[in-house]
Amino acid sequence: MKAHRTLLIRLPRDKCDVDYIRRLIALANLAYRGYEVWVPDLPKSIQYQLYNFKDFKTSLIFGTTPKRWFMRAWVPLKVLRVYGDGSMKGDKSAPVVLDFRGSVIRLRQVCKNEPRYVVELPMPEWVVERVREGGDVKYTMIGLRGEEPYLALVAERTVEPYQPSGYRLVVDVNSWKYGIAWGLIKNGKLITWRTERPGTFLINTLYHQAVDRERKAGKLRRLGYGGTAVVNRVRKQAKARRGKIYRITRDKAYFLAGKLVGKALRYRALLVIDDVIEESRRELLEEKLPRGVIKLLMANTRKFIKQLTTLAQWYGVPYRFERLPSTVCPMCQHELTQEEGRIMICENCGFKAPRDKIPIHWAMKL
């Protein structure tokens, strides 16, 4: 089985011509749809990259076919790898060179339409780690995110999932208000159970500060101060706080995904994931929370699941998705009643447990 991981590197805008990259993206858009167009003033070597990928419509580099005509398609590029002993892998004319001897990445004529134009970037430690793990960076992509140029490094590795031992690591994905619940089970017995989440107090504080500043900027615009330095400063402060919230939840998602995959590897456990996120969203709606707060508490939960499965594939951790209800009694299958503190009680058999622990009980039973 082939597994893949991707790293995004922001390119220096002063060294990369965004308009030139946008033209390459337009050609990639055409290549997506089976057209082959050669532009006279663009380097043949770069354009050839677009049409040298067989079965590009279903390849990792291109992904799925865009549904909209003007959807941006990142430009696929081959990679030449130069190792410390002087050996090489890949096409010598490739526009991207990973030089492990000098710990640099060279982009040859993909950032500007100038003869022999080269941009050098420091080699991320991420690349060295993936190579140590048996991976190889055969392809890259260049494209734009928010009008900023980025390079995507795609590491590839062939790995077979291990045979699980008697352990199972069960992960129940909730909103960040209640966190990610996980339990380690061996032969039907619960060894460890925990719920983890980012600091919700800090997130709520940043959210309310952002909302207050957005309201202040709105009032100033209505009073005729739109576009002034004061309004721009207040809007910038609000944006910075929302950005910090996103980074906090993103970093927690990545950290937690890595921690759980590491635990699964240590015990050679089967990873069982319950990702019914809509149930968590409905629970927040029932609490009559503002939609902005709900969006905040659900931020990056999908990214956590994506990172969790990506790491599981990369390290050969077997995993599966399984529906594990949190409102049905695992003993007698009757509907549970929620009491204060999210404690669930079965009025039929007397079963009682925290709501976030109910899916773990179902996994123990199944």
What pLDDT sits at residue 67?
61
Indicate if the pLDDT at residue 319 is higher than 90. yes
Query: Cα–chain-centroid distance for residue 62?
Result: 17
Task: Write the pLDDT tens digit of every residue in 121-168.
Answer: 999 999 999 999 999 998 899 999 888 999 999 999 999 999 999 899
CA distance 327 to 337: 8
Nearest to 3 by CA among 306, 320, 314, 265: 314
What residues contact 328, with CB distance under 8 A and at least 6 apart? 334, 335, 336, 358
C-beta neighbour count of 109 within 10 angstroms? 18
What's the token pair of residue 346? 């079965």
Confidence of residue 65 (pLDDT cuts 50, 70, 90): low
CA distance 87 to 85: 6
Nearest to 251 by CA among 176, 183, 323: 176
Q: Are 11 and 146 in contact (CB under 8 A)?
A: no
Nearest to 330 by CA among 304, 310, 355: 355
C-beta neighbour count of 325 within 10 angstroms? 16
Task: Write the pLDDT tens digit of every residue in 277-305.
Answer: 677 777 777 777 777 788 878 878 888 99
Length of the chain: 366
What pLDDT sits at residue 57?
52
Q: In whole angstroms, how far apart are CA 121 and each of 18, 96, 124, 150, 317?
A: 17, 11, 9, 12, 33
CA distance 234 to 222: 14
Task: Write the pLDDT tens digit of every residue in 345-354.
Answer: 999 888 999 9
Lowest-pLDDT range, 77-81, 143-147, 211-215, 260-264?
143-147
CA distance 321 to 275: 7
Confidence of residue 59 (pLDDT cuts 50, 70, 90): low
Task: Say whether 218 sits in a helix, a strand or coil.
Answer: helix
Task: Write the pLDDT tens digit of every residue in 3-32.
Answer: 999 999 999 999 999 999 999 988 888 877
Average pLDDT over residues 190-197: 91
C-beta neighbour count of 306 within 10 angstroms? 13
- φ and ψ of 273, to 5 deg: -120, 125
Q: In whole angstroms, how far apart are CA 143 and each of 62, 74, 75, 330?
A: 12, 5, 6, 49
Q: Are 61 and 52 in contact (CB under 8 A)?
A: no
What pLDDT sits at residue 12?
93
Domains in the chain, ordered, with CATH? 2-158 (no CATH), 167-201+241-323 (3.30.420)
- φ and ψ of 365, to 5 deg: -75, -40
CA distance 87 to 99: 11
What pLDDT sits at residue 104?
96
What pLDDT sits at residue 340?
86
Residue with tokens 């096409």: 91
What residues contact 184, with CB distance under 8 A and at least 6 apart? 167, 168, 169, 170, 190, 191, 192, 193, 263, 267, 269
Average pLDDT over residues 263-272: 95
Residue environment code for 261-278, b if the CB has 16+ CB neighbours within 10 A, otherwise e: bebbbebebbbbbbbbbe
Task: Say whether 248 sits in a helix, a strand or coil.
Answer: helix
Confidence of residue 37 (pLDDT cuts 50, 70, 90): confident
What's the token pair of residue 130? 């993936």
Task: Write the pLDDT tens digit of every residue in 172-188.
Answer: 998 888 889 999 999 88
Residues pairing with 238 in the sheet? none
Nearest to 118 by CA among 109, 127, 130, 131: 109
Task: Write the pLDDT tens digit of every residue in 93-107.
Answer: 899 999 999 999 999
Nearest to 192 by CA among 203, 200, 184: 184
What pLDDT sits at residue 60?
46
Indicate if the pLDDT at residue 272 is higher than 90. yes
- Tell if the pTM clears 0.75, that is, is over it: yes
